[in-house]
Structures are given as C-alpha cells and as structure tokens.
Amino acid sequence: MSGISPRDIRGLGATDIAAALRRRELTSVEVTQAYLEAIGAGNAGLGAYLTVDEQEALAQAREVDARRAKGEELGPYAGVPVAVKDNISTRGLRTTCASRILENYVPPYDATVVARLRQSGLVVLGKTNMDEFAMGSSGENSAFFPARNPWDPSRVPGGSSSGSAVAVAASLAPWALGSDTGGSVRQPASFCGLVGVKPTYGRVSRYGLVAFASSLDQIGTLTHDAAEAAALMGIISGYDPADSTSVPEPAPDYPALLGREIRGLRVGVVREGFGEGVEPGVQEALRRALDVLAGLGAVMGEVSLSMTTYALPAYYVIAPAEASSNLARYDGVRYGLRASNRSVTDMYGRTRQAGFGPEVKRRIMLGTYALSAGYYDAYYKKAQQIRTLIKNEFSSALQSYDVLVTPTAPSVAFRLGEKAADPVQMYYQDYFTIPVNMAGLPAVSVPCGFSGGLPVGMQLIGRWFDEAGLLAIAHAYLETTGWHRFRPEPAVSVAGEAR
C-alpha cells in the first residue's frame, strides 16, 4: 500500500494520478478502490451514477497493475479511472439513457470511444446519470432520480450530462465522458465549475452513442482542467470508419499544443453575451475573465452574432424532428421495454407511454408535427435554412477573430424544480451553446469565477477542428487565475434521497 489516503488520492486529478501510477507510488487498484468508496458514500445524495461496475472496475485495475509489474509498455493514463455517460454503449454493462424503456438494456458492444478508453488502459467506474435520452438542461429529467449540484445539492447540476459533471466535481471520478447536442457538456461544466469540451462535429466517433439528434450529437469531455481535457480528447479523438460522419482528419497531439502563444490572439467578444436575460453576476465574472485574457496579450474586439437569436427556435424544430425519427425504434419489438402483448398497435402505444418520460414525449410530438405533411416546409425546411445562415455568420466572424467568447449559460445553477413547469425558460439555458452545435463548431466551457457562491462558465468558440487552440487558451487562462483548483466540500447524503 502507498500510504496515501483515499481522500488525498481523489484530490490529485487525472494527470497527477497517472504520474503517480507510472512512478509506482500508487496502484490502479488503490486508486479505483478510493473512488468506489467515495461513490458508495456520496452517490446517494448526489445521484451521479446509475450503474457502478465495481467488480469489473477492480478487475481492470488489477490487470493494469499486473501488466505494469511485468514491465509492459502501457499508455500514459493506464490505470486511471473514468466515468461514462449512460447513453454511450458499454459491452456487458447496462446502458439505460436514464429511461425506463431501456432500463434493463445491456449492449453487446462498446462504443468506439469506450473501446479507445479500454485500449488506453483506463478503468471504467460506471455509467452516469443524465436527462432521459439527453433531453434536458438540468439533470431533473432522469427516469430514476435527479442529479444534484455538489456546490449546493438543492440546485441542479445542469444537463443533460448531469451525472458526469457531478461525478467529476464531487471527486467521484477524476474525469468523465458526456455528450453534447445543444450544450449538454458545456452547460453542466459551467454549473459545476469544470472544463467541458464539445469537439467539432466529426472529430470524435459517434458509433455507439445512442442517438438523440444525429446531425447535432457529439461526445465530449468533462475534467477539472485544460491539461486533463487535452489528454482525454487525445484518447477519444480520431477517424472511425464505423461512423459515417467521422471526418478522416488526424487528431493533433493536444497536450503538446497547450503552450501555444496567446499574445496577439484575436478575441471576439460576442455582444449578445451581455444582453437581456444574462444574470449580472454572470456578466461581471465574464468581464473580469476578458480582462485577464487582455492581460495575457490577447487583442480584444466586439462582434455581433445576430442570427444566433434564431438558433433556439430553429434547434427546437430540428432536434425534435431527428429525435422523432431516432426514437421510433423503441417499439417493444426488438429490445427494451415491452408493455403489452395484446396486439401490435396496443404494444406500440403502451410501451411508449410507459417507457418515455414527459420531456421525451413532448419532443417526439414536436418533431413528428414538424415533419408532418403540410408543415415540413413551414418548419423543418425553414429551420435548416436558418441553420445555414448561422453557420455562415460564424464563419464570417471567425475570419476576423481566432476565438469568440460568450457566457456558457445565462445564469448560475438554479434550484431543483424552479424551471420544471416552464419548458421555454428551461430551453433558454442553452441560448449560448445551441448555436455552436447548429454550426458544428468546437467550443470549451471554462470556469471563470463565482456568483453568489456558485460557479460561472466562460464559453470559448473556435474554428472547425481547432480544439487545440481553444484548449491552449483555456490552459493559459486557468493557470493564470486558478479557478479550476476550487472544489466543493465533500458530498453528504441528502435526507430522503438515498437510493
């Protein structure tokens, strides 16, 4: 045994853990056990995990330790644990999408990103909670139980990658994978004080990601700092012939590029980021962050992205339309829940009624309506035309600037139930993140301070396939400010919420 306490292990972060493993100061079993113990103590109060794979995780850890003891050459992060969002397929491990309709589904294959994690020797701790089928901005739409923000368990952690963000922020995992369709990595990163990366569409394989909106979905990362994000992005990025939307573009060495020069970088501050609806505390934190970037030598300017005003309504036509098509496969025939055997029609209706939650049903109905005869041109086609205009506006702005900056979310984490009865107010939480998905651009949410004791996130938006540039800016900013070093107090169980 190393003599390092489990709490100290969990305070190290993924990069430090990897270094300690390579120096033989820790074993993967010790590290994995430390996180499993933390999950056992804290998960009931925070709702981070839906499934914990304790036996398999320890078996993976023992295998890494045995290979290291034999002197085998291992990946630099071999033996480091990781959490995986529960809409990413894991062979032999339950993948529910936080939905009753897939409550007992066990995939026969790994998603490409999970296969790459395993090939690199990472230890999968389990599957994290989420808004059902990734449809939500708070973590409250899980069919099983809500996730809670470790900075204040009476508040939401953001969504839909809620459990992944909670797991990392509460030190129940050193890092995690999420998915981002309209802000589902970046918004919870903002609410929980983390670095959240949404890569360029096509940079990371979607093979094995359970589809919500196929033209928008992208797997991303949640970490404490930019160096860890660079390392995890390096593991999961790259071309995959199993994904027809994967771009045959070689992934750069992200960690090696963290030292890219910031001085002289052209930063476009998006005017709409200081408009109506953005909380004063968020605006103030963002202004201070911009002053830091200017102090690092960045050349600041202002830009308006007027077309992004239409991104929210266009998204809520396109994404539900694609969801309507993708979720048609859950019919009780092939896999998942089957609620009736009386007739095929009855089975379809009862299965979907029992299996889907209210938000999923709402979006399926919206999407089906938008695609129906007589409404396709008025809604879906028009939304796609707006999407093209948004993409063109971003392209024009990124010719003048190297990076664009907005708040990640217009507010800090709100209270559980506060917006549940008003879907429009809930949807507005993704106002600044949705346009990025519509254009297929990369973006990173970076912690940039606090408002009322709760984290605030700054969103950095870059050119297509320039995740390395964004991570370099994030790294320079965080090394200057140290916002990534702030952690919430250790989680305690919330009365009545034990699971």
Amino acid occupying residue 77: Y
309: three-class secondary structure by DSSP: helix
Is residue 290 within 8 A of residue 403, CB to CB? The reply is no
Rg (CA), the chain: 21
Q: What are the C-alpha distances in Å from 78 to residues 18, 64, 127, 181, 339? A: 7, 7, 19, 29, 43
For the record, the structure tokens of 169 come out as: 């922020």
The conformational region for residue 378 under phi > 0 = left, psi -120 to 50 = alpha, else beta, is alpha
How many residues would you count in the chain? 499
* Burial grade of 309 (CB within 10 A; 0-12, 13-18, 19 or more): middle
Catalytic residue among 89, 171, 184, 190: 184
Catalytic residue among 28, 137, 142, 160: 160
Is residue 197 within 8 A of residue 220, CB to CB? The reply is yes
- Residue position matching structure tokens 């938008």: 370
- Residues 6 or more apart whose Cβ sits within 8 Å of residue 480: 292, 295, 296
Element (H, E) at 455: strand 454-462
Is residue 336 within 8 A of residue 373, CB to CB? The reply is no
Element (H, E) at 486: none
Is residue 361 flagged as an active site residue?
no
Is residue 493 flagged as an active site residue?
no
Is residue 307 within 8 A of residue 443, CB to CB? The reply is no
**For residues 441 and 294, what is the distance between their CA atoms, to the nearest angstrom?**
24
Q: Phi first, then psi: give them for residue 240, nearest 5 degrees.
A: -140, 110
Is residue 198 flagged as an active site residue?
no
For the record, the structure tokens of 339 come out as: 């609620």
For CA atoms 202, 208, 214, 220, give the dihedral sign: negative
Catalytic residue IDs: 85, 160, 184
